[in-house]
Amino acid sequence: MTYRVCFVCTGNICRSPMAEAVFRARVAEAGLDGLVQVDSAGTDGWHEGEGADPRTMAVLEANGHSLDHTARRFDPSWFARLDLVIALDAGHLRTLRRLAPTERDADKVRLLRSYDPAADHGDLDVPDPYYGGADGFEECLEMVEAASAGLLAAVREQVGGRAA
């Protein structure tokens, strides 16, 4: 049975596609690509149908990641098929939990940086790099990379539990 993870930011062109690309690579490296499906979406539909921001693509490519991406808006009906919904900041967390049809669905929503043991637990947001320069995208990638190991460990535990 496939374990499904969806990363969510605002417009699905910067942070969430970056997290999708990085985590998909981690899943493949762990040999779990047949067991874990990785996706992304936005809380808003401003960029639906567009590719990822060119600065996102540049940072990903410079760090060995690839991504074929078309932005889309998160649909609450997806909760039924998703196992984990990863919010990139506290605003997304609140929005997604409000959209959740059930309490069980709301419990599927987690902040990405909550999986990074070195993160400042007073501020778990991955800042939106959209209005800044390349350094903001690099910082975003660093935060995503730092949280990915912990997220992978949590997902591996869930996948292992399903296989038992």
State percent of the chain over pLDDT 70. Answer: 98
Spatial CA neighbour of 2 closest among 30, 37, 28: 37
In this prediction, the residues of the chain whose per-residue pLDDT falls under 50 are 164
Give me the pLDDT at residue 1, please: 84
* Owning domain of residue 34: 3-163
Q: How many residues does the chain have?
A: 164
Overall number of domains in the chain = 1
Model pTM score: 0.96
At 78, which CATH number?
Answer: 3.40.50.2300
Q: Just list the catalytic residues.
A: 9, 15, 128
Position 164 scores a pLDDT of: 43
